[in-house]
Amino acid sequence: MCLFCKIVAGEIPSTKVYEDDTVLAFRDIAPMAPTHILVIPKTHIPSVDGVTAENSAVVAHIFEVIPGIAAAEGLTGGYRVVSNCGPDAGQTVPHLHFHILGGKQLRTDMA
Ligand code: AMP
Ligand code: ZN
């Protein structure tokens, strides 16, 4: 089981900020901004490369819940949503996740 599947299963602790039947959001263990949350599907999808017509509903659902998570965090000034896919992007956990970053003026040099 991958690290984030273990978090979904409760085998590794996390600081949850949102959960429903298909999606879990928790605080990043090494925050890069005052608010740094990871939103993941509860099912194992390795990365953006693993999104298909069969599983994309959960990705749509992730984007449906992100605005509410951001609002609950008080990110009224805006925020960034990032998904690293593969080694060139620096993906370190092989389970699809979307970073929500905010709470400060974020740098614009994304690459
Ligand atoms: P990425 O580098 O895009 O694959 O993002 C993986 C993220 O997972 C990194 O920002 C890590 O800090 C974070 N991370 C790793 N282990 C944990 C954990 N046990 N709980 C919360 N976040 C974690
Ligand atoms: Zn997984």
Q: What is the pLDDT of residues 26-67, one digit of tens each?
A: 999 999 999 999 999 999 999 999 999 999 999 999 999 999
- Among 44, 61, 97, 99, the active-site one is 97
| Cα 78 to averaged position of ligand 2 atoms, centre (Å) | 29
Which residue, among 87, 37, 102, has the nearest Cα to 65 in the 3D structure? 37
Average of pLDDT values for 95-111?
Answer: 96
Q: What is residue 103's predicted lDDT score, i.e. its pLDDT?
A: 98
Q: What is residue 86's predicted lDDT score, i.e. its pLDDT?
A: 98
Atom number in ligand 1 closest to CA 12: 19
Known catalytic membership, residue 99: no
Average of pLDDT values for 64-78?
Answer: 98
Q: What is residue 66's predicted lDDT score, i.e. its pLDDT?
A: 99
Q: 84 CB under 6 A from ligand 1?
A: yes
| Cα 4 to averaged position of ligand 1 atoms, centre (Å) | 9
Share of the chain above pLDDT 70, in %: 100
Average of pLDDT values for 58-77?
Answer: 98
